[in-house]
Amino acid sequence: MLNSPFPGPTPLYNNVPIHPEYYQPSRFVISNVSLGQTTFVTTTVNHNYVIGQNIRLIIPPFNGCRQLNGSQSYVISMM
């Protein structure tokens, strides 16, 4: 097995729960949400998320998609 200086993303089962008391959360404006088995969320600016990161979606009621408000999700890809 090769030792790589870049071990890769953390497996989803190793992610620790979000504890906002430990850090200042990042906030990004959502410009589009495409619902489906895999939901695609588009932000207005580039973000600092990484694949495998556990995130929480906060969607204001007037933006629609209220069923996702407050849900925790994982970043599985970025474009």
Give the contacts of 6 (CB within 8 A, at least 6 positions apart).
none
Q: pTM, whole model, 2 decimals?
A: 0.60
Does residue 6 lie within any of the structural domains?
Answer: no
State yes or no: pLDDT of 21 exceeds 80: no
Does residue 69 lie within any of the structural domains?
Answer: yes
pLDDT tier at 3 (50, 70, 90 boundaries)? low
Q: Work out how many domains the chain is built from and give that number.
A: 1
pLDDT tier at 8 (50, 70, 90 boundaries)? low
Does residue 12 lie within any of the structural domains?
Answer: no
Mean pLDDT of 68-74: 87
